Each structure stands twice: as C-alpha cells, then as structure tokens.
Amino acid sequence: MSKILRTILELLATLIIASLTTLAQFPQASLSNLRSAEFDDPQNISIQIRKSTDAGQTWGPIVTVGTAALAQREPGFCARSDGYLLNGRISNFILPAIAVARSDGPTRGHVYVAYQTAYGDDQADVLFTALSPDLDVLAPPKRVHNDQTPNDQFFPAIAVSPRGVIGVAFYDRRLDPDNLLIDYFLAISKDGGVTFEPNRRVTDQSFGVPAGQPTSTRNFDSLRNECYMGDYNAITADATAFYLAWGDNRNTLKTPAYPDGRPDPDVSFAIVPLED
C-alpha cells in the first residue's frame, strides 16, 4: 500500500475512531458532549474536557477549557445551526477539536484543543489552548492565526506530529475584502503552542460557498440543507509532513439541469512538509 493511500485511509479513519485510537495509545482526554447548551446561552458556550485512564470505563472530573460564543443569527433559517450563520448564510458551529502529543519530548501527554468562536469584532476566529497530562490549563485560549482583518476563520482541525509539532488547519477568508471567498490555511507550532509560525495558505485558489459564486440565498442542491458547507475537515501527521483534507467548492459542473454550470463541492487533499 502506498504512503499516500495509507494517509488517505488514516484521514478517513480519524473521522470515525479518533477517540478510540487515542484511548488505546495514550491516557486519553476527550471533549465532553456540548449537548444543546450552545443554544441555551449562545454567548457563553463552555468548552469542556475530561480524562479516562482505563479505556473509557470511568472518567475524571470535567475541566473547562474556555468559553465560546456564536454571533449573527437569522431566526427561521438553517435549522441545523438554529439560525446561527456566517457570511454567505452557511452554518455556524463551535466545532471543538482535540489532539494529544505522543512524542518523547517535554510535551509528551499534553492535550491540545482548538475551537471556533466569535472574538472581538470577528464573527468567527479559531482559538487554541494547551493542557498538561493532568488537564491543567497551561495558558488562556489564544488565536492561532496572524490575520489582522475582522474576516472569518472557522471549522478547525488539529493534529500533532510524532516530533511534537502542532498543526491547526481551518477555513479562512482573510484574502477577500468582502469576507465571502474561502481558503484553507494551516497554523504550525513547534514549541507546544506557545507560539505559532506565520500561517501557511494551503489552497492556491479561493472559492465561494456551495450555494453559488460567491454566495446565494439557497443551496443549489435541494437534497442538502440550504445552509450547507463542508465541515468534516481532517488533518493528520507523520514525522515529515501534515496531511490535510477539506471541502473545496472551486469547481463547477455543467449538466442538463444546470447548462451554465453549478458548484461542484469536492474533497481536496494536500501534503505540507515539515521543515526542521
């Protein structure tokens, strides 16, 4: 089996059994269920975590990692997110992500969490925080991106390489003054999340939301939710590179029903080499 095929299979497996894999390899910390609390108080969503050291048979106390908030609501539109939307009328979720360092260095056992939240004047930013193996919060949550605009960063995914290098991937609208077109970016930290390098653009072309270019009032596909946007993004790593998969809407497809073309959301894949 080729290395790329193994990596693609690992990305798919990560979406299904990431927690179980981590449980088997390391005393696990797992994000608790957010339940429907985000809609009870959308300005004070608690991001919580707890640890099991016996393969999930019992769990330790809940630790609050940080708080998040949702903004820009349109009641009556988009039931899947209760009307909370980003520009282009796509679903807005917190989507916390977790990774555990398994390297032999000083960060072994550290737990890393990334999540999306309204932050200051921004409708959506990606925040990061690190915890010790005992789930002591090592630093307050902070932004992983170096974007100086109020544009959106959203839907994070996180991984740690065997050498302890952290990668946080996310959608990013910093390149569009209208805060509509989307790119995929990667933030890398080589010091346990104390600092992040200047973000790397992964995509080579910006794309719009799947409803149209750059936006529309409804999704083109009546079988999908009207506020659909691919949020099942994934990232994994080995000692040499990060491997990323994300939903990408740049392509169009002409059919008899859409002779002028319609958006053709695809899954894209990229390898970002790790530099020493």
Chain segment 159-202, per-residue pLDDT in tens: 999 999 999 999 999 999 999 999 999 999 999 999 999 999 99
The pLDDT of 1-12, averaged and rounded, is: 44
Residue 19 pLDDT more than 80? Answer: no
Neighbour order of strands in the sheet with 97-100? 97-100, 111-119, 122-131, 142-143
Contact 225, 78 (CB under 8 A): yes
Judge whether 27 lies within some domain: no
Q: Please determine, for residue 257, whether its predicted confidence score (pLDDT) is greater than 80.
A: no
pLDDT at 268 over 90: yes
39 pLDDT above the threshold of 70: no
Local confidence band at 32 (pLDDT 50, 70, 90 cut-offs): very low
Position 7 in a domain: no
pLDDT band for 220, please (50, 70, 90 cuts): low
d(CA 264, CA 193): 36
pLDDT at 211: 58
pTM greater than the 0.85 cutoff:
no
The owner of tokens 């899947």 is 80
Lowest mean pLDDT among 144-158, 163-177, 248-262: 248-262
- pLDDT reported for residue 213: 35
Q: Do the Cβ atoms of 49 and 113 come closer than 8 Å?
A: yes
Residue 36 domain flag: no
Lowest-confidence pick of 89-93, 149-153, 237-241: 89-93
pLDDT averaged over every residue in the chain: 81
Residue 25, in any domain of the structure: no
40 in a structural domain: no
Does some domain include residue 133?
yes
| Residue 93 included in any domain | yes
Q: How many domains does the chain have?
A: 1
175 domain-assigned = yes
CA distance 51 to 47: 14
Domain limits at 78?
A: 68-273
The residue with greater pLDDT, 12 or 54, is: 54
Can you give the pLDDT at residue 219?
A: 54
pLDDT of residue 218 exceeding 70, the answer is no
| The residue type at 124 | A
